[in-house]
Amino acid sequence: MRQRRVHRKLTVLDLFCGCGGFSLGFSRAGFQIVGGIEIDPTAYETHSAHFPPLVAPGKPHDIRLLDTVRVTRPIESLYPVNQVAIDVIIGGPPCQPFTRVGRAKLREVAGSVRAHIEDKRVPLFTHFLRFVADLRPLAFVMENVHHLASFAGRNIAEEVAASAEDLGYEVRYAILNSVWYGVPQMRERLFIIGIDARLGLTPAFPKRTQAIDLPVGYTTSRSGRPDYIPVLGRSPHYVGEIQVEKELQPAIAVEEALRDLPVLTAHLNDPRARKGARKFDGRLCYRPVKPSPYALEMKEWPGFEANGVIADHVIRYTPRDYETFRRMEPGDQYPEAYAVAERRFEEALASMRPRPKPGTKMYVDLRAAIVPPYDPRKFPNKWRKMEPDQPSRTIPAHIGKDSYSHNHFHSFPARSISVREVGRVRQNTLAFTTA
């Protein structure tokens, strides 16, 4: 460790690296990212563009087929014999089988109640452990959803901790919420930290810096209660109470995070808006308002400076729902949105002479043009209008396919949030938590 501190940065290999959120956080904290392992071509290309790989370069990789020795061979010659080339291993194995929504979707698609248990992505965490066992880094950090600690009768987080302890690591895991650390989003993740026991260090988790009363439904809303263990069984590796700073700052609200972004209204009048999403090649200027400290940090992030203009501030065009979005109140979810759409439909019927009769083509077409087809009794949080004075609720990974789950808190734009707004609120979560 002394030699590393004197001569160079600690090296990091990111497994299941995705587009690089975890890598970004470690890079910001002073580590050197030497490579990422990722099977998705687009995500791997993005990661490689920002973190040119010295390890496992050239193409996406299926971690199940990789030999750990061959992965690190390109940089082994740079270090003396008997010194590890990789100091830290990080990564978040796929979480889809473990999440509540993911489990339900897998069961629905496969028509089997065991679909999530039998999903081929469940055992991928063992390959994370394989890399740790073979490369023997000084430390590792694994990230996943908190359901990892209670999955089909198993506490996989405890299994990982116990296995790593057998390999000679001191291990702890905890459930953290990104909103505690200055991210304008309530997002829970389970982190497992292991440190080589020979270093004599016990893994610790960062103190909470932001104050918030989390709503019901978040596991971390009960964090700190000594009698509450949100994992399957008690464990000496689990840290259930996260310490807090002496002086907590208010949580970052979405209006504070987004106020300097351009106002989008063209979708309300542009007939071309009905043909689908806009392209990502447009450039817009920021609003002439003083950005919040959070927004300023986003715009001045080293290596990703905004330089006065932004891209990707685009939305889905959904003309059917603009007026529904407008009439929703902040905090309203899909049942309220559905009720608004029903009232709009009744208003439209009342204005027509003669009034279309149920079952006729005119009646069916009019209803389809106003009322969304989703059952309001299922997934009530499928839609939600954001509250300007609160952090965002958790933004799902499928925002690119849905996006209704987070509608803009101002009524006059009458739209779901943009790709850029999602980035402001969500995609710096791992970077902030690790940095």
Higher per-residue pLDDT: 90 or 120: 90
Q: Is the pLDDT of residue 119 over 80?
A: no
pLDDT digits (tens, 9 = 90+) for 380-405: 888 899 999 999 998 876 665 655 67
The string of pLDDT tens digits covering residues 167-198 is 999 999 999 999 999 999 999 999 999 999 99
Query: Is residue 28 pLDDT above 50, yes or no?
Result: yes
* Residue of 140 and 415 predicted with greater confidence: 140
Angle 255-259-264 from CA coordinates, rounded to 5°: 110
Helix, coil or strand: residue 3: helix
Contacts of residue 375, Cβ cutoff 8 Å, sequence gap at least 6: none
| Residue 367 neighbours by CB distance under 10 Å | 17
Q: Is the pLDDT confidence value at 349 over 90?
A: yes
Domain boundaries along the sequence of the chain:
2-251, 319-417
Cα–Cα distance for residue pair 132/134, rounded to 1 Å: 6
Which of 92-101, 203-212, 354-363 is least confident? 92-101
Q: Render pLDDT for 275-319 as a digit per residue (tens, 0 to 9).
A: 544 566 678 889 999 999 999 988 888 888 888 888 888 888 888
β-sheet bridge partners, residue 284: 310
Q: Say whether pLDDT at 270 is over 60.
A: yes
How many angstroms separate the CA atoms of 174 and 93, rounded? 17
Burial class (CB in 10 A: 0-12, 13-18, 19+), 145: buried
pLDDT at 255: 94
Task: Give percent of the chain above pLDDT 70.
Answer: 79
**Confidence label for 364 from pLDDT (cuts 50, 70 and 90):** very high
The DSSP output letter for 9 is P
CA–centroid distance for 417 within its chain: 16
The string of pLDDT tens digits covering residues 409-424 is 888 888 888 888 988 8
Residue 200 has pLDDT above 60, yes or no: yes
Asked if residue 86 lies in contact with residue 135, where contact means CB atoms within 8 angstroms, the answer is: yes
**Whether the predicted pLDDT of 94 surpasses 80:** no
Q: Which pLDDT value is given to residue 427?
A: 58
Catalytic status, residue 95: yes
Q: Among 302, 427, 424, which Cα is nearest to 28's?
A: 302
CATH number at 2-251: 3.40.50.150
Q: How far apart are CA 338 and CA 373, in angstroms?
A: 9
- Please classify residue 271 by burial: count the beta carbons closer than 10 Å to its beta carbon, then call 0-12 exposed, 13-18 middle and 19+ buried: exposed
> Helices 334-350 and 361-370: crossing angle, nearest 10°?
140
H-helix or E-strand spanning residue 351: none
